[in-house]
Amino acid sequence: MPKDKADLLQGTLDMLILRSLEAGPSHGFGVSGVIRRFSEDALQVEQGSLYPALYRLEAEGWIRSEWGISENNRKAKFYELTAAGRSQLRRETANWARMSSAINLVLSHA
């Protein structure tokens, strides 16, 4: 697993999770569903990446979690964006926009 690629993916996944929680609190399955739907099934988040990412984001203080009841009446852990998470999302979105436009510029020159 070459290092650079992993880093890129990880950073992007964080941003996508934060974005999906902007709409409101959700559990892990919900987050993966939102990402899949928003990307029109282009992005499939692997559970092996999703849950560690959720824990990492919580440790960073960008999201917080509490136990609630899910739609099928089960105990579920709901994640919610914190204020710090909101501003982090803004930063990352801006970064992403800058980077993708830069990449597009390069590609369009080819």
Partner 1 sequence: MAEEMRLHVELQAAEFRETGMKADEAEMKARREFGHMDGIRERCRDENGILWVSHLGQDLRYAWRMLARSPGFTLAAVLTLALGIGVNTAIFSLVDEILLRPLPVTDPGDLVLFHWSSKVDLPVPTSGRWERDPVTQQTTCTSFSLPAFEAIKKRSQALSGITAFAPISSLTVIADGQAEVVGLGQLISGSYFSVMGIAPAAGRLLEATDDRPGAPGVAMVSYGYWMRRFGGDPSTIGRAILVNRVPITIVGVVPRRFPGSLQVGDAPDLFLPLVLARGLGAFEMIDKPDALWWVQIIGRLGAGMGPSQMLSELEPAFQQSALESLKLVGAPPPKSPNDLPTLKVGPGGQGLNELRNEYRQRWEILTGLGIAILAIACANLASLLLARGAARQREMGVRLAMGAGRGRIVRQLLTESILLAGLGGALAVPFAVWVEVGLVAMQPRVEGHTLSLVPQLDPGVFLSAAAISVLTGVIFGLVPAIRASRVNISAEFQGGTSNRAGSRSLLGKLLLVIQVALTLVLLVGAGLFAGTLRNLASVNVGFESRGLLLFHLNPNPDGTSFKAGLAVDNEVAERLRAVPGVASATFSRMPLLSDMGWNTRIGVVGRPPRDDGHNTTMVNFVAGNFFATYGIPIMAGRAVDMADGARGGSVAVVNQAFVREFFGGEDPLGRTLQRPDAGNMPALITVVGVARDASYSAVRDPAPPTIYFPYYSQASAKVEATFAVRASGDPRMLVPLIRETVHSVDPLLPLDDLRTQQAQIGELSATERMFAWLSGVFSVLAVGLVSLGLYGLMSYSVLCRQGEIGLRIALGARPTQVIRMIVRECLLVVGIGVCLGLIGAYAATRIVSSLLFGLSATDPGIFAAGGVLLLLVAVFAGWMPAQRAARVNPMVALHSD
CA–CA separation, 63 vs 69, rounded Å? 18
Of 23-31, 80-88, 92-100, 102-110, the segment contacting partner 1 by CB under 8 A is 23-31
For residue 43, report the phi and psi dihedrals to the nearest 5 degrees: -110, 120
Asked whether position 55 contacts partner 1 by CB under 8 A, the answer is yes
Give 55-98 as a DSSP string: HHHHHHTSEEEEEEE-TTS-EEEEEEE-HHHHHHHHHHHHHHHH
Give me the least distance between CB of 100 and partner 1, in Å please. 27
Q: How many residues bind partner 1 (CB under 8 A)?
A: 22
Question: Contacting partner 1 (CB under 8 A), which of 9, 11, 37, 52?
Answer: 52
The one-letter code for the residue type at 73 is: N
Q: What does the binding site for partner 1 look like in residue numbers (CB under 8 A)?
A: 1, 27-29, 32, 46-48, 51-56, 58-59, 70, 72, 74-77
